[in-house]
Amino acid sequence: MFRFVLAAFISLSLLGCASTSNSGKSVDSRRNSIESMRADTLNKLYKEKPYAADTIERAAGYAVFSNANVNLIIASAGGGYGVVHSNNGQVTYMKMGEVGLGLGFGAKDYRLVFVFHNAPALKRFVDDGWAFGGQLDAAAKAQEKGDAIGGEITVDNITIYQLTESGLALQATIKGTKFWRDDELN
């Protein structure tokens, strides 16, 4: 039974990570795709939380990531991509990956928006990119139908918003997430 669960988890994890891949496209096409995702995500965030626009405008910078996550019983994994925009005009394209342990089942596609309230927090994120934390959420959403419990949290001069695009998931996990520069796009 354990081998079956492990094989299913690995298969679904690879499928989830593959859906965020832009391989085969030109560098400019991949950048344009990421910038389009960024603009769409910010528009959704501003619609749901109008005060976020002012928060981002006053910040040292912000990042927007697209992530696919799969959770099978005791483990979760995910991967994605995104972009960091600083208030001085610098743009850094990044990738992300995450693994976790906890209880849950499901898969979801969601967006993360990080708002860096000062320059050291932004620099630390771009240079080091680690995050470790917990996640408790429920999602049952397809396009604009359904709902998801997302959140907003501020830690270490960074506010993080989560917007669920689609998925069906119920999970409580402890996870580690790594963000790193995308050498091909920078």
Q: In angstroms, what CA-CA distances link 148 with 3, 30, 101, 143? A: 31, 28, 21, 11
* Nearest-angstrom CA–CA distance, 181 and 130: 12
- Could you give the 3-state DSSP secondary structure of residue 87? coil
pLDDT for residue 53: 96
Residues 6+ apart with CB under 8 A from 130: 176, 177, 178, 179
For 166, residues 6+ apart whose C-beta sits below 8 A from its C-beta are 108, 109, 141, 142, 143
DSSP state of 25: S
Query: SS3 string of 120-186?
Result: HHHHHHHHCCEEEEEEEEEEEEECCEEEEECEEEEECCEEEEEEEEEEEEEEEEEEEEEEEECCCCC
Query: In 3-state terms, what secondary structure has residue 20?
Result: coil
Tokens at 178, concatenated: 């790594």
Euclidean distance between CA atoms 106 and 178, whole angstroms: 21
Q: Which residues contact 7 (CB under 8 A, 6 or more apart)?
A: none
DSSP designation for 26? -
Q: What is the pLDDT along the chain (186 residues), one digit of tens a residue?
A: 443 344 344 434 444 443 444 556 899 999 999 999 999 999 999 998 999 999 999 999 999 999 988 888 788 889 999 999 999 999 999 999 988 887 777 777 889 999 999 999 999 999 998 776 554 444 343 444 444 445 557 677 899 888 877 656 565 667 788 999 999 999
Residue 105 per-residue DSSP state? E
pLDDT at 115: 96
Does the predicted TM-score (pTM) go above 0.85? no
